[in-house]
Amino acid sequence: MRKLTCTLLCLLMILSTTFCLTGCKSRTDEMAGLEAHTDKQINKMKKQVIKCINKQDKEGLKKLFSKDAQKHIEDLDGKLDQLIGAFNGNKIESAKGSGTDFEGSADAQPLHIYGDYSLKLINGEKYVIMINICDIDDDNKEKEGLYQITLMTFPKDAAPEEFYIETNDDDYGIFIYKKDGIQQ
């Protein structure tokens, strides 16, 4: 009887330890899954934005913006023209990310994803583009999509002294900064 009790206690301890370790692993897996999801979503949006800029497809770019952003960005068509025009017809050759970040989770919505990319143009110029999307918002589907693009027509290391971007991550809009510090 004593052997049976010891065996059952050992088995119970092994099962509880396994259950605890599995629980920790699933949380780690969940976080890794969320990071993989955010990277996939922002990379997909980045490719679509670059494709539209390279084709000078203003309507395609406009459709990437959430319905809510389309309603709230003042003179969206004019700002899209300025964004596409800032490239002076030069195509984007490459876009290297310096980081993806997110705010929220699939459970605590909305899920906002931010991407920051150094662009190299065909003519050798270097720009920086920041893309902000709302990936998941089950309570307000109209907010899902692109809601902010910030373009710097110079690389980060060539930013003018005391350069400061005056946007908030949650602001709707298209913001263009030129090397002389002028925002359009």
Q: CATH number, domain at 157?
A: 3.10.450.50
What are the tens digits of pLDDT across the range 115-144?
999 999 999 999 999 999 998 888 899 999
Q: 0.85 exceeded by the pTM? A: no
Nearest 5°: phi and psi at 97? Answer: -80, 140
Q: What tens digit of pLDDT does each residue of 136-182 get?
A: 888 899 999 999 999 999 998 888 878 778 767 678 999 999 876 55
**29 assigned to some structural domain:** yes
Q: Is residue 101 part of a domain?
A: yes
Residue-by-residue DSSP string for 81-118: HHHHHTTTTPPEEEEEEEEEEEES-SSSS-EEEEEEEE
3-state secondary structure (DSSP) of residue 175: strand
Confirm whether 129 is domain-assigned: yes
- Convert the pLDDT of each residue in 28-47 to its tens digit: 555 567 788 888 999 999 99
Residue 170 lies in a domain: yes
Say if CB 137 and CB 152 are below 8 A apart.
Answer: no
Report residue 184's pLDDT band, with 50, 70 and 90 as the boundaries. Answer: low
The number of beta carbons lying within 10 Å of the beta carbon of residue 58 is 16
Residue 89 forms part of a structural domain: yes
* Range(s) of the domain holding residue 36: 2-177
Give a yes or no: residue 183 inside a domain: no
pLDDT of amino acid 27: 46
